[in-house]
Every structure is written in structure tokens, then in C-alpha cells.
Structure 1
Amino acid sequence: MEAWKSFGKFVGSHLAFIAPVCVAIGVLFPDQLDPLKPWVTALFAFMTFQGALGNNFRNVVDVFRHPSSMLVTLGISTVAMPVVAYLLGTLFFGGDPDLVCGIVLEYSVPVAVVSAMWISMFGGDVAQGLATLLISTVISPVTIPLTLKILLGQTVEVDVAGMMIDMLFQIALPAVAGMLVNDLTRGWGKQTLSPAIAPAAKVALVLVILSNSTGVSPYIRHLTPQLVGVMVFIAVFATSGYFAGLIIARLWKRPRATMITMTYQTGMRNISAGAVLAAQYFPGEVMFPVIIGTLFQQVLAACFGNFMTWLLARDDAAQETPAK
């Protein structure tokens, strides 16, 4: 068991290296990895379950009683990021409305389901993360069409039923199951079961990264200078999303766990939902800015996890150093 746990810690501590390798493998061998796709929902559900084992229903209720951090996170991810994406997208790529549309769509979709895994892995507030994720997904059938209509004049129909079913199986049921196990076993779920299956959850994350990266392959193989520019833009803008949550949380003097949660949920997007909408309602070029985020999202998540670990360690060292 100790060797298994050590393996999980190794994977978690080296994700900043493992994630880009997985992306490269997914881009190079999309056909060979295609059998993973039917398993993605189950893998997401398992990761959510493992993350929720560290929580209980009381913690989630407390989030809704004191929702300020959740509301600020939703304000950044749902309002601020799409507006800034539109302004900068128009500035740099205004000559191609389809690319601008794709950039706005990328930042109009809900918070990423996988953010719950990263929050749990780096000691964030899992209860707040799950609550924010649920609310972000529930309101998205309204916020996505409204955002696109206001900013672009586009009218789209969101598959409300499909999105709700995905949310139910990937987030709601696994989260409830995890918290229920922890409550009914009086903490055994958190103290014993969660550490035992945490390495498997990290393996599940690696498989999800591999599967999601295959969707980028056709676009990477047909790059133009303009599309390279879009790639650079998405990479920089995605980075700014993580920084937005981190900086606001620190200036606001939020607890460490809250800071970690806000950082991940202002930076990570449900790219799969965006890709489905782009494929159904828009020209092919709209898909590129949406799906290309797959190249960077998990790599940035790993890098920011390491960065926040270093930042908090530095804060601890500064507090322990006696004043001269």
C-alpha cells in the first residue's frame, strides 16, 4: 500500500512534466487513444468521488451560507473573462469573426469538471469547488447564450438536458456519494479510503488528459501563422485566468484553501462543452480557439499547483523568520 501511495505522490508532484508529455502523445497518436473516449465520463466521476471524500454535507451548506468567495469566482469566470476575451480577441483577430467567436465561446463555458481534482490534490476548499462547479454548470444554459448574444449578436441553443445529464453523472452523484461515504463512516472515507484511491484518481487524470488531447491533433497538423497567433493568445489568456483568481484571493486575504480553489476555477474551463457547442452551431474555424485550450489547461494547472505550493511555503518561511 505504501508503494501505491508513493506512486500517487510521484505522479502528483511531477504533473507539470507529465501533462505536456500526455498532450504530445495525444496529438501524435489520436487513433490509438480513441478507445479512451467512452471512459472519460466514468473517469471524471471517479475523480469527483475521490475529491468529495474529503468533505461532508455540512461544509457544502456552509459555502451557500457564506457565498462571497463563490460569487466572486463566478463573477470572474462568467462575466469578466468573456468580456475581456471579446475585447482582446477583437483587437488582435478582429479581421476574422469566427476566431473571435471561438475565443469568446471558450471563456463563456462553465468551470471545468476536472478543477475539482486539482483543488483536492493541492489542498483547496473542495466544498467550495464543488458548489461553484455545480452553480456554474446549472446557470450555463442561460449565461452562454446571453453572453454570445450580447457580445457577438450570436444566437445559440444550449443542450440543457445533455448538460444536466453530464453534470449529474460527472459531478452531482459522485460528489454526493463521496460525502455520504465520509459522513456515514464518520471520517473513514477521508482518512483511509481517499488516500488509498488517490493514486488511481491521478492515473484517471492522466488518462483524461490523453483522451482530450486527441481532439487537438487535426488542428495542430494544419497550422497557419494566424492560428499560431491564436495558440499564443489562448496560452497567455488562460494563464491570466489563473492569475486573476490567485491575485484577487491574496489581496482579499482569503484562506489558503479558498485561494487555491479560486485560482483553479477562474483558470479552468469545460472545453468539452465548448467544443460540442462549436461543432453544432458554428463554422469549423470557431472550433480551433476552443479546442486548442486543451493543449494548455492541464499543463497550466500543474504549473500553478507547484507555484502556489512554493508561494505558500515562502509565506510560512517569512512568518517564521524573526523580525530583526
Structure 2
Amino acid sequence: MRVLDAMARANAPLEKIMPLLTPAAIATGVLCGSRLESLEGLVPWIFALMTFIGSLKSSLSEMLRELRRPGKLLAIMAVLHVLMPLVGWAAGELFFRGDPYLVTGFVLLFAIPTGVVSVVWVTIYGGNIALTLALILADTLLSPLIVPATLYVLMGEAVRIRAYDMMEGLLWMIVLPSVAGLLLNQWSKGGVARRWSPPLAPLVKVGLFVVVAINGSNIAGELRHADGRMAAVIGATFGTVVLGYLVGWGMSSLLRWNREDSTAAQFNSGMRNLSAGAVLAVQYFPAAVSLPVISGMLFQQLLAATFGFRIGAGAKKRSGASAAAVGQDG
């Protein structure tokens, strides 16, 4: 019991350092290099465990409730898997024309499902958690079809796509652990989530660090000898990821969504399951494909914290304006 309580208490400090976690993991991978490459076989298993722990919070009833009114879910999915992959492809063609591997990397960056860790940020800033969980689960379950299909449609024959292997990897790493966590939580009527999610949550952060470090070691040479090309990759990745947040904000503003739904839209449009993307890139493509995905890891959490601060500041301003209006009415 004491061990579980201690693990649960460790989660809050880890959440505070989330913006620094993935850059530190990449630095560790670059510094350790070949010493971590031998651990690559563990990555799918670690990732499957992370996905299983994250899915313990999923509720079948909440997901079904969101699916009965799927408008918002479909709108975010359209941003995730139609608009943003096109943005990634356009950025790749604009800045790296003639390099099909880098273009594929930018498409993969936005073909992978929304980030499981987005539920952390949506929770912190008071967004619609039910919508987020429904989106994560639906996006995860569809990922074995969406990811290869997106790559094939946008890249065609430019790069050899091991679609079947990729679908199998996504099935074992993401889909089956997600379904297992969902069913276990449903069977226990939420008891598993209440009892085990808090103490197991730190393991997700630790697992994320390990996965990113191991994947970072695969491109240690590229990062150690960074040149103008690598700087361009990082710059283009930064710009397109920021655009993801802005598109989520713009769409929710245009459709006049409330603050909770808008918060969910922004985080889920901006964040991606980059650790899964890195695993796919490293396992099924040449090393250059992983560069945009690994680059995104450098600042994804930092951008989430930045946009979260903006969301929080906007909420305080609206709250202050409402209070002032009430005072005037009084």
C-alpha cells in the first residue's frame, strides 16, 4: 500500500516536468548512442504497457455518449487526418522537395493518432475529458487503417510502405492494449481506474522517457552532427506543429464551441502520439523518415504548456469579465 501511495504521489512532480521530459530523453539517447540501440526490441512492449495503463481511464459509456453526437468528434478527426497530413505533405514538398524520406516523415508526423498524453493537458486546463478519451480511443482503434492509408494516398510509390507490417505493429502496440484497458475498466465498473490509474500513471512518464531515449539513439549521428538541413527540419516541424494548435483553436472558434470543447480541440489537434510515430519510423522506414517525428518530440510538451498557459489566461480573463458584469448588474 505504501509503495502504491508513493507511486501515486510521484505523478504530480513528473507532470510538472513534462515539458522537459522528452528533450531530456532525446539528449540521453544521443549521448548513449549505440549502448541503447540494443534495447530497441523492448520498445513495442514498453509502448503497449504505456497504452494499456493510459486506456484504464477510458469509459465505454462516455465513449458511446460522444459517439451518439459525433459532430465534434468527426470535426477534430477531419483536422487530424485530412487537413494536417496535407499540411505536413505541403511543408515537406515546399522545403525538402526531392527528398522523399523527409516528405514521408512530415506526412507520418500528422498521420499518427492524437497523443494519449493530451488527456493530461486537457485535464489540467479543464477541457472536455469525455470528448478527449472518446477521440483517443476511436483514433487509436482506427490507426492501423488510417496511418498506412494516409501514407499511401499522399506518398504513392515514392517510398516503399510496409503497410501490412505497420498495421500489425499498430494492432499489437496500440489497439489491443487499449481494448484490454477499456474492457477491464468497464468490467470493474471503474474500480480499476480508481485504484490503479494513480499509482501506475508515473510508469507512463518513465516509459515515455525510455522509449524516446531508445528511439533517439537511432538517429544519434544525425543529431550529433546537426547541419543546416537538420535545422530546417526542426524549424519546419515547429511551424507545422504550432499550426496544428492554431487550426484546432480556429475551428472551435468558428463553430462556436464552449471553452471545454475548444480546449480539447486545441490539445488534440496540436498533439500527436509521437512516441508511436517514432517507433513506426524506426522500425519500418529508413532513418531519415524519423527526423521530423523525433524533432517534434523536442518541443511538443513545451508547446502544450505554452498553449495551456494561453488557454488558462483566456479563461481567467473571461472569468474576470463575467464577475465584473455581475457586479455592475448588482
Both structures adopt the same fold (TM-score exceeding 0.5):
yes
Does the Cα contact within 8 Å between 2:281 and 2:289 map onto a contact in 1? no
1:27 aligns with 2:30: yes
Q: 1:147 aligns with which of 154, 165, 169?
A: 154
Distance 1:189 1:229 in 2: 45
SS of the residue 2:229 aligns to:
helix
Pairing 1:52–2:55 present: yes
The answer (yes or no) to whether the contact 1:241–1:266 under 8 Å persists in 2 is: yes
Task: Give yes or no for contact 2:143–2:170 (8 Å, CA) kept in 1.
Answer: no
Q: Letter of the aligned partner of 2:72 in structure 1?
A: S
Aligned to 1:282: none
Q: Secondary structure at the match of 1:116?
A: coil
Which shifted more, 298-307 or 28-37? 298-307
Decide which moves more: 98-107 or 222-231.
Answer: 98-107
- For the 8 Å contact 2:56–2:182, the answer to whether it is kept is yes
Aligned residues: 310
Tell whether 2:305 aligns with 1:301. Answer: no
Q: Is the 8 A contact 2:109 2:292 kept in 1?
A: no
Matched, 1:39 2:81: no
Does the 8 Å CA contact 1:106/1:271 hold for their aligned counterparts?
no
Equivalence map 1:82-97=2 (5 Å): 82-94=85-97, 96-97=98-99
8 Å CA contact retained: 2:105, 2:290: yes
Which amino acid in structure 1 is aligned with residue 133 of structure 2? Answer: V
Change (3 A) 1:203 1:315: same
User: Which residue is 1:159 aligned to?
Assistant: 163
Q: How far off its partner does 1:246 sit?
A: 3.8
Q: Given the alignment, which residue of 131, 135, 141 partners 2:138?
A: 131
Identity among equivalent positions (%) equals 21
Counterpart for residue 284 of structure 1: none
Matches of 2:248 and 2:173 in 1, distance apart? 24
Looking at structure 1, the residues matched to 265 and 206 of structure 2 have their Cα atoms a distance apart, in angstroms, of 21
Partner deviation per Cα, 1:138-173 (whole Å, 9 max, x = no partner): 233323211113xxx63644322x223222222222
Q: Which residue of 2 aligns with 1:109?
A: 111
1:260 to 2:269 alignment: no
Look up the match of 1:239.
Answer: 242
* CA–CA distance in structure 2, aligned partners of residues 272 and 310 of structure 1: 31
Q: Distance in 1 between matches of 2:53 and 2:121?
A: 10
Cα RMSD over matched residues? 2.9
Structure 1 gap segments, 5+ residues each: 280-286
**SS of the residue aligned with 1:111?**
coil
Letter of the 2:186 counterpart: D
1:302 is displaced (CA, Å) by 4.6
Distance 1:170 1:121 in 2: 23
Alignment TM-score, normalising by the size of structure 2: 0.80
The question of 1:185 aligning with 2:192 is answered no
Provide the TM-score with structure 1 as the length reference: 0.82
The answer on whether the counterparts of 1:40 and 1:208 sit within 8 Å (CA) in structure 2 is yes
Determine if contact 1:145/1:156 at 8 Å carries over to the other structure. no
- Aligned residue number for residue 224 of structure 1: 227
Deviation at 1:274, TM superposition (A): 3.8
Judge conservation of contact 1:108–1:147 (CA < 8 Å) in 2.
Answer: no
CA distance in 1, matches of 2:82, 2:70: 17
Indicate conservation of the 8 Å contact 2:109/2:293, yes or no: no
- Greater alpha carbon shift after TM alignment, 165-174 vs 85-94: 85-94
Work out the CA distance in 1 between the residues paired with 2:207 and 2:10: 13
